[in-house]
Structure 1
Amino acid sequence: MPWHDEQAAYRAVVAVASKSDAKVDVAAVRIRHCGLVRADGHDYRIFDQAGTATPYEITHHDPDRDTLISLRCDDPSMRFVVYFGRSSSDVDPMRATRSGKVGEGPPRPGPGAGGWIPRTGLVLTTLRRPVEADNPRTPEALQAMIDAATPDGAAYRSAVSDSYNPFGDSDYFISIYRGWLRIAKDGRYGFCTASNEASFSFLDGKELVHWPGRHTEQRGKHGQKSRDHELRAGLHYVEYYHEEVLLYQVAFLGWRPPGADHFQGIDSTVFPQPHRAQVTQYEKRDAGRIPMIRAELLDSAWPLKRSRGQYTRFRFTTDGGDGAPWTQVAWSFGDGQTAVGAEAEHVYLRVGAYEVKMTATAAVGGAIERRWPLIVYPVEHLDGPYRDADAKSYREAIEAFDPGALDTQDLAELIRFHDETGDAERAAALAQALLDRADAGAAELAEAHWIAASGTERRGEHLRAALKLEPDAARRMEIAARLIALTGTEGGDLAAAEAVFDEVVVSMRGATSTDRLRVAMRGAIIAIGEARLGSLQREKALEAFHLAESLAEPPVPLAVRHARIGSYHETVAARFKDGRIDDAAAVIERWRTQFPADQLRGEVHFWRGRIQLARGAARDAARSLGLAAELAEGSELEAHARFLLAQAYGDAGDEARSRQALEALIATGLAGEYRERAMKLLAGQREGAP
């Protein structure tokens, strides 16, 4: 096809991919120009395959990414060529234009377009509204807000209705619908708006129905905010503007056509749709085919252990048709990570702004570089284009990351990801690397020490460092609880555990309490109670446990307490018998933390030991079962605990202690199955001795 516009550096070859159900003379196409156009879009020119200049309207223009164009298309089988990349240019006389003023009505035809404008299609555009701006009470105030806004994105739609932003953050944004609706017959039509925050609407440049200022949608959801209009049959140009601040949002334009007794949604057939066209290839003058970037949000996942943060997966492809001549495509995702291939998926660890770079190498002509400004925004609604993913499904992609190329904040998120998805060893190793970063803040260093403590023998050192650095009171309490458990319960140094408790927990009494701080303090009190119990200081342990239970919200009545403890016993036993070890462990954790005073009976530690033994943690099991045996002295539970204690020592390779545990069981004089089995085992050991 000849190059029709010698002043243009680039062009896109366009063909209709999907015909409209309506009889229309408009095709809509998205041009991904990657910033190769003028900021004002004046350099666009369009020709059909015969070389005839084609009229059009730019319905959305982002100077860094893409442009939506509605062009005249009398024959859907015809191809078109969209030219761009002029160094200087006036507005094309074939281009229909708008001033951008709120409520101005339909676009004006270009002087060379013979009066043609695209009377088909409804386009939704969303913008970032200024955070500090008040909810507009007039169209003029809305105009000022739009003038200060920046684009999120745009697409063709079949109704004026949304409950989220499909192109960006659903907080602090503006929705703008502009396009055409077809009135079937003359008559009186009612139109209503339901919006969360201000909305303004116009028909053919005149007020349709406004609902200004700050409000929810509740007082308009049944058509209370409405106006009637006498309309003639035919096409009418509709504009609907809505602005949103925070939380739940709604934008909706409904109607009551002649003969209807209530308001309803406007059927999609009322909004005639254009033919949908697509670019088959991009070209550069005198250089042949070139690639552009296509970015697609696939899904996102929220962290498993935190209420903040987001992991987001995108797919990047070279937009330019099949059979492209480039032999290699390399990607740089703007966060230090890279990939190779015509198509690449990448998971972003944080929301924020990134610049994606694609470098395509051709057999002839060298390398071509393209850039795409990408906004990874918070996803708050799992609807429409937004899909939820399991964070663990991102593991394979994230394991390929180069941690050294990440900035410190991304590295901190990478550590959290591995910690939350079960790879504690990898998380601890990366946490150690973050500790060497000079630009890490106190909170990041504290968290790195916390996570590093799970993968090294220097656990106490890391936890003490975290305790010193952590600025958040509730988080300090959580660190203290873990350090108390490490030194007192696992290490047997009750004095050191008491010192931590006095330093952190006792000093916080009287401080301003929050739900989060109260929960964390309760955990630390349970930890010191367990450390005391491990040293068999039953009365002091019970004192701590009673204090912890008194902090529970809401308080648990005594009868309910007894019933729940009984159900915990039955549930743990049943799940353990069925081999559902993780489920049994979860029940034990609830039992231990909800009713810590019940630990003095020994049953919690008995089941904890059995679960640890089943998981292969023999030394941890020995500690739990040994304590259970002491607490359940004189009962059948003591006999069972001592028998399993011998097994735990044996699994740990400590045959001497295993034998001592069996001898201690026999010495208790507790009659029953486990004493008999212990005697047989010892007898067998004597017979086998040299």
Structure 2
Amino acid sequence: MTFPSAKITAVWIATIAVILASINGATAQSFRRGGTEFNAVRSVFVPTRKTHAAVVVEFLHHGEIRPDGRNVLVAARNKEAVPFRVLQVGPGDFCRVAFQTIEGQSAYDVFYGGDPPRDEPPAWTCHDGLLLETRKFSRCNLRSLESVREAFQSAEPIGADYVEGVFHAANPCSLKREPFLSRYSGYLHLRESGTYGFFTSSRDCSFLLIDGKPAASAPGRHGPQRRATRGSRHDVQLTAGEHKFEYYHAAAGPDAVMVAAWEIDPPEEKPRRPREIPAEVFHSHLVGRLPAGRVSLRVGGQAPDFLADVAGDVPLPENDVPLVGVKFRDLSPKTLTAHGAKIRWDFGDGQTSDLPNVDHVYLRPGLYAVTLSVRRGVRTAEMTNRIYVDRPLLTSSDKLHTLDEYLRIIETYAPSKLDAASLRQLAFVFEAKALAAPDRSDGYLAKAVEAVHAAFRDGSAAKGDDDLLKLAQLICPLARFSLGDSRTALEIWRGAARRIDAAEPKAECEIAAADVAVNDLLRAADAKPLLEAATKRLFPNSPLPQAGEGQGVRVIAAELQRVWGDFFAATGDGRSARNAYLEAQRLLGSSRRFNVETAQRGAHARSTEEFLRSKQYVRAAEEIESWLRAFPVARLDGYLTLLLARYWSGRGRYAQAIAQAEQLHTVSPDSPYIDQLLFLAADCEMRLGRKDRASATLHSLVNDYPGSPLAPLAKKNIEILEGGK
């Protein structure tokens, strides 16, 4: 499977291959330049048929370049250094360098790694192109040019690049949407003298300067100006020739807009049709972009090499974390990869591939150490680069990626090699597909459960208490309610409790496991040691939270008491069950008035009734779960238990429905809903083929609750059952 832009990339790779072939044929050279010995070199071939005053190259530096970029030097082949600029180092091992060309010179070398050069590089003299520099936001007065300029000069660099004009809706030097400061600098190359009317439109402040003097401004914090209005243009008389251009901008929030426009010789004060200042005015066409050649190392010589292109992303429903597609292309020398050599990619997320060129999907943004290994015989050569992965700033509509394209890749992943946060994303992927394909939803949900189940087995890469807890909290309701696989839910909760170290999240998992054991699987004996462990873990010196305990602990303690109540009810200890439910409610506390609580309970009840009526059993289970957590004392009233029994009956889990009737009979035999529960339990006994038990349950209803409206119908059913013996 390849991403939509694969054909374009293939052409690009072919072009690079031709250039690399030319470069690799060049004579080997020394790594000493500028009075120091560098660790690596990449060659750049500049076609002599094209006029490039300067060239921009991008490459991965495999950890060799310092954050300040000082251990870099660019020289003409077999000659001295040329003027150059290290435009950007990072994120990860990304590097962008610009250098000036020499007329008639086609081959250049970018040296890097090791100590900085002792000799000062030649000063930059080129006036062609428009340079955009972006830096981290620093507090300043957005209404003052001087304040913004001073903040920019002292701020930490993000990155820089040559651009065609001032026309951006984000920081093109970063994939992160965050506040930043920016400066565009270059020269206007005017063919004619005249009046030039300048405009600026920006999100937050912007200041445009010509020859160091303000020409247009939009101070303060604001949105972009959508229309040019009277007074928004600033006219400047300029002569033909070069004029220094500067544009300062500050984005105080995550969104940004930067636009500089003009009108030439405007006929009147009212703006007519301002347009973006064109690229040719900055001589942007004289700044070329060329690929850097393969890396050659001072120690080790030729090495594996590769390109990484963040090609697109796919958002997930109700999820701020996107899936990101990255194209990896092997650029290793043929001398390494020929003659039966074996290639292996390690993408830094636990996944691997043995294909030379591969499309990979990262389940979440981040910085990944990607290693390309080439093994031939007993010798293995490898190269590692840190790749920063995030949602691309812009993707054209014909290159948009889809979840189905990504899914074909993701389904090949080894879940046991993923970290917990990535596994959670993997579960979200299958959940999204289940929503998109209702006829196959169970299959996708089963894949999600199975993938996460692997995280709680031995040998899993998933770690971190918080991430493991979130993972279990996401997947166990899917297993328990959506798939009806309570056994797997119990195993996951137990596995999470084993792998988590911190007391509170570990106890949460033990409590949840006990809940499933006692209510779903009817294995109260398995629930007891889990509850005892959670109690000892949370309160080693006291059975309950004391004054001053945090609200988080009290919520966990309330859930612990609630499940203890279910355990006591299931084992016939009504008094202990009642006390546990009451204590759970006390621990939760309430600042709500009685009528508000009554309304909330009623809302839970009505929602559950509607979900059961429409057979939306998953939503019914979720509503009951929410109801139980907020009002554990509702177990004493009995209506919640009745609806829970109806839920189990609707799902065909008749033994569980019968167990709910038995629990209520133990805890609250005088509940106004006990007769309905007994009648439902008798029906479930019949569905299980247990006529004697059905008859005994109906007898209990008739004898213990003779005033029930269901008593006459129960008698008739007894006659039918016993008459058919």
Give the TM interval when normalised to the shorter protein: 0.5 to 0.7
Hey, what does 2:458 align to over in structure 1? Answer: 433
Structure 2 counterpart of 1:67, from 73, 96, 101: 96
**Contact 1:12/1:279, CA 8 A, preserved across alignment:** yes
Distance change in 2, residues 1:371/1:644 (3 Å): same
**Contact 1:447/1:466, CA 8 A, preserved across alignment:** no
- What is the SS of the residue equivalent to 1:341? coil
Alpha-carbon separation, structure 2, partners of 1:256 and 1:296: 35
Hey, what does 1:267 align to over in structure 2? Answer: 276
Hey, what does 2:74 align to over in structure 1? Answer: 43
Tell me the amino acid that sits aligned with residue 161 of structure 1: H
Quote how far apart the aligned CAs of 1:551 are: 5.5
Tell me the amino acid that sits aligned with residue 60 of structure 1: L
**Contact 2:134/2:180, CA 8 A, preserved across alignment:** yes
Counterpart check, 1:507 vs 2:545: yes
Quote how far apart the aligned CAs of 1:374 are: 2.0
Alpha-carbon separation, structure 1, partners of 2:180 and 2:374: 35
Hey, what does 1:565 align to over in structure 2? Answer: 605
Tell me the amino acid that sits aligned with residue 339 of structure 1: S
Tell me how large the CA RMSD over aligned residues is. Answer: 6.5
**Contact 1:180/1:238, CA 8 A, preserved across alignment:** yes
Hey, what does 1:186 align to over in structure 2? Answer: 194
Tell me the amino acid that sits aligned with residue 254 of structure 2: Y
- What is the SS of the residue equivalent to 2:458? helix
Hey, what does 2:371 align to over in structure 1? Answer: 357
Hey, what does 1:252 align to over in structure 2? Answer: 258
- What is the SS of the residue equivalent to 1:167? coil
Hey, what does 2:413 align to over in structure 1? Answer: 400
Alpha-carbon separation, structure 2, partners of 1:185 and 1:223: 24
In the superposition, the TM-score normalised over structure 1's length comes to 0.63
- What is the SS of the residue equivalent to 1:373? strand
Quote how far apart the aligned CAs of 1:596 are: 5.4
Distance change in 2, residues 1:431/1:506 (3 Å): same
**Contact 2:343/2:374, CA 8 A, preserved across alignment:** yes
CA offsets per residue over residues 253-279 of structure 1, 9 Å max, x none? Answer: 455755575899963746766397654
CA offsets per residue over residues 632-665 of structure 1, 9 Å max, x none? Answer: 6565564234313543xx3xxxx65x74135423
Alpha-carbon separation, structure 1, partners of 2:308 and 2:578: 64
**Contact 2:337/2:374, CA 8 A, preserved across alignment:** no
Distance change in 2, residues 1:199/1:672 (3 Å): farther
Structure 1 counterpart of 2:701, from 664, 668, 672: 668
CA offsets per residue over residues 108-146 of structure 1, 9 Å max, x none? Answer: 23xxxxxxx5x44x45454567x9999993635532334
CA offsets per residue over residues 271-308 of structure 1, 9 Å max, x none? Answer: 766397654975989x999974222335668999999x
Q: 5 Å matches for 1:330-479?
A: 330-334=344-348, 337-346=351-360, 353-360=367-374, 369-376=382-389, 397=410, 400-401=413-414, 403=416, 411-413=419-421, 416=424, 423-424=448-449, 427-433=452-458, 469-470=502-503, 475=505, 478-479=508-509
- What is the SS of the residue equivalent to 2:386? strand
Counterpart check, 1:329 vs 2:367: no
**Contact 1:181/1:236, CA 8 A, preserved across alignment:** yes
Tell me the amino acid that sits aligned with residue 74 of structure 2: D
Distance change in 2, residues 1:639/1:415 (3 Å): same
Alpha-carbon separation, structure 2, partners of 1:81 and 1:274: 20
Distance change in 2, residues 1:612/1:559 (3 Å): closer
**Runs (5+) with no aligned partner, structure 2:** 1-21, 31-40, 431-444, 477-485, 703-709
Tell me the amino acid that sits aligned with residue 373 of structure 2: T
Structure 2 counterpart of 1:297, from 304, 307, 310: 310
Hey, what does 1:643 align to over in structure 2? Answer: 683
Hey, what does 2:154 align to over in structure 1? Answer: 144
Distance change in 2, residues 1:566/1:178 (3 Å): same
Alpha-carbon separation, structure 2, partners of 1:640 and 1:486: 22
The percentage of aligned residue pairs carrying the same residue is: 17
- What is the SS of the residue equivalent to 2:74? coil
Distance change in 2, residues 1:300/1:457 (3 Å): same
Distance change in 2, residues 1:236/1:431 (3 Å): farther
Q: 5 Å matches for 1:103-142?
A: 108-109=125-126, 117=127, 119-120=128-129, 122-127=130-135, 137=147, 139-142=149-152
CA offsets per residue over residues 463-482 of structure 1, 9 Å max, x none? Answer: 887898336xxx57845753
CA offsets per residue over residues 455-498 of structure 1, 9 Å max, x none? Answer: 59789987887898336xxx578457536736876655899869
**Contact 2:562/2:632, CA 8 A, preserved across alignment:** yes
Structure 2 counterpart of 1:314, from 302, 326, 329: 326
Alpha-carbon separation, structure 2, partners of 1:481 and 1:511: 19
Alpha-carbon separation, structure 2, partners of 1:622 and 1:476: 31
Alpha-carbon separation, structure 1, partners of 2:222 and 2:651: 54
Quote how far apart the aligned CAs of 1:340 are: 1.5
Alpha-carbon separation, structure 1, partners of 2:47 and 2:716: 86
Alpha-carbon separation, structure 1, partners of 2:187 and 2:650: 68
Tell me the amino acid that sits aligned with residue 372 of structure 2: M
Alpha-carbon separation, structure 1, partners of 2:366 and 2:237: 47
Distance change in 2, residues 1:134/1:235 (3 Å): closer
Counterpart check, 1:162 vs 2:174: no
Alpha-carbon separation, structure 2, partners of 1:463 and 1:342: 38
In the superposition, the TM-score normalised over structure 2's length comes to 0.61
Quote how far apart the aligned CAs of 1:230 are: 1.2
**Contact 1:161/1:252, CA 8 A, preserved across alignment:** yes
Quote how far apart the aligned CAs of 1:317 are: 1.8
Quote how far apart the aligned CAs of 1:240 are: 3.7
Quote how far apart the aligned CAs of 1:154 are: 4.5
Quote how far apart the aligned CAs of 1:546 are: 6.0
Hey, what does 2:621 align to over in structure 1? Answer: 585
Alpha-carbon separation, structure 2, partners of 1:588 and 1:72: 72
Alpha-carbon separation, structure 2, partners of 1:518 and 1:268: 63
Tell me the amino acid that sits aligned with residue 248 of structure 1: P
Tell me the amino acid that sits aligned with residue 343 of structure 1: N
Structure 1 counterpart of 2:59, from 32, 57, 60: 32
Quote how far apart the aligned CAs of 1:573 are: 0.8
Tell me the amino acid that sits aligned with residue 285 of structure 2: P
Distance change in 2, residues 1:486/1:41 (3 Å): closer
